[in-house]
Amino acid sequence: MTNLDHQVEGKRKEIHTDAYPMSIGEIINLYLDGELDIHPEFQRIYRWNLIQKSRLIESLLLGIPLPSFFVAQREDGVWDVVDGLQRLSTIFSFLGIYKNDAGDIESPLRLTGTEYLPSLEGKCWSEDFDDSNHLSKELQRAFKREKIDLKIIKKESDEYTKYELFQRLNTFGSSLSDQEVRNCLLIMINKEMYSWLSDLANNDHFINVFPLTTKQIDEQYHLELVLRFLALKDVDVARVKGGIDIGEFLTKRMKELATDTSYNMPTEGRKLLKTFKILDLTLGENAFKKFQDGKYTGAFSLSIFEVIGLGLGFNIDSYDENNTIHLDKIREVSKSLLSNSNFEKNSGSGARASSRLPHILPMGRDLLRI
């Protein structure tokens, strides 16, 4: 037996699955009984519009098969939805039973007309919501009897199987950004840490030094920058050598922090807030821009963030926001960075993170040492 055979056999033993069809009506009962967790927190991340939602309901009414739904069985027997979150929440919203992350039932979904069923325009599920524009009893019965294919990851499986499955299903061909997928993973692993990261990303000082576009914010890039700071600020430089994929590294590092019971979120949060308060005081929205010809120009530079943001974060315990010498040092490093031959050699749009970080991180830590 080859090494590959042994690896495949070992990993297959860690995954226990089952599969069977289940009617929409049965799925509804599981949800109402609290035996199916669809993670309503994810709705702030997924971005389905009314047309997409209406097409899903159209498919079920027409009996068009849907892709499989994946759930993971928890120790308490509850099923965690791993893939199919948006589809299930759309179904429950149409029926008027969907609960948001505060536990409140939201207003029922009203459909728009589709190519094959233009009469869906304005339709809702029940006369409880509208006395004139609702589905007939015949269509309601047919809808509830429609079957979906369910794949179940049993609780005997390896603890991280559902996270790996979620990441893979929502990465390949997904409309979600890498950080949106990470956010969903983090909610599943450690909801408290996700809330903490979100709070840090929305701090006024943090926002002030990152003049991000609306698109970047929509795709949760501000949370990725918080994660980059926490994951790279103190990292052993040896971990970012050897051609790493920075996206995979950030996901792996996030999982490590989320499951590390000794990780001190209050302390690390204070360090981040102090870092960006000082940067806001000294440089403001120019904190991570190029200084050329006596002025700051251009957009946010990730390479400059890795030098100044992470370098200051590494040394932040030595800094005093009321010490003008300390603040002047930051301004001096910022204005002289482009003339640094080491920075020039290892930065720029053509420099990959795997080749950039082993040089950039030590440089920032050294330049901003007090």
Q: Is the dihedral of CA 187, 46, 79, 169 positive or negative?
A: negative
Model pLDDT for residues 225-237, shown as the tens digit of each residue: 999 999 999 999 9
pLDDT at 252 over 70: yes
Please give the residue range of the domain that contains residue 17.
Answer: 3-168
Q: Which two tokens stand for residue 247?
A: 């996206």
pLDDT at 154 over 90: no
What share of the chain in percent tops pLDDT 70? 86
219 and 154 in a common domain: no
Count CB atoms within 10 A of the CB of residue 257: 18
Tell me, yes or no, whether 228 and 129 share the same domain.
no
User: 209 — phi, psi (to 5°)?
Assistant: -90, -5
Condensed to tens digits (0 to 9), the pLDDT of residues 137-146 reads 999 999 999 9
- pLDDT score of 77: 85
pLDDT > 80? residue 23: yes
Sign of the CA dihedral running 203, 209, 215, 221: negative
What's the number of domains the chain is made of? 2
pLDDT exceeds 60 at position 7: no
On whether both 197 and 144 belong to a single domain, the answer is no
What is the average per-residue pLDDT within 28-54? 83
* pTM of the predicted protein model: 0.70
Q: How confident is the model at residue 191 (pLDDT cuts 50, 70, 90)?
A: confident
Same domain, 82 and 136: yes
Instruction: Say if residue 31 is in the same domain as residue 116.
Output: yes
pLDDT per position as a tens digit, 162-184: 666 666 666 544 466 788 878 87
- Judged by average pLDDT, the poorest of 22-31, 77-86, 176-185, 245-254 is 176-185
Q: Say if CB 43 and CB 183 are below 8 A apart.
A: no
Provide the pLDDT confidence category of residue 351 given band limits of 50, 70 and 90: low
Same domain, 113 and 218: no
101 or 140, which is more confident?
A: 140
Q: Are residues 340 and 300 in the same domain?
A: yes
Domain identity same for 156 and 183:
no
Same domain, yes or no: 142 and 266: no
Residues 184 and 163 in one domain: no
The mean pLDDT value for 62-77 works out to 86
Residue 168: the pLDDT is: 65
Task: Give the C-alpha separation, 244 to 252, whole Å.
Answer: 11
On whether both 256 and 222 belong to a single domain, the answer is: yes
* Mean pLDDT computed over 46-66: 89
Is there a contact between 88 and 94 (Cβ–Cβ < 8 Å)?
Answer: no
Which of the listed residues 120, 151, 168 is the one where a domain comes to its end? 168
The whole-number pLDDT of residue 16 equals 66
Identify the pLDDT of residue 46: 60
Of the three residues 133, 168, 203, the one that is the final residue of a domain is: 168
Mean pLDDT is lowest, of 178-182, 263-267, 336-340, 358-362, for 178-182
| Shared-domain flag, residues 184 and 109 | no
**Nearest alpha carbon to residue 183 among 242, 125, 249, 251:** 251
Band the pLDDT of 311: cuts 50, 70, 90: very high
User: Is the pLDDT score of 278 beyond 90?
Assistant: yes
Average pLDDT over residues 248-277: 94
**Residue 304 scores a pLDDT above 70:** yes
Which of 135, 168, 201 is where one domain is finished? 168
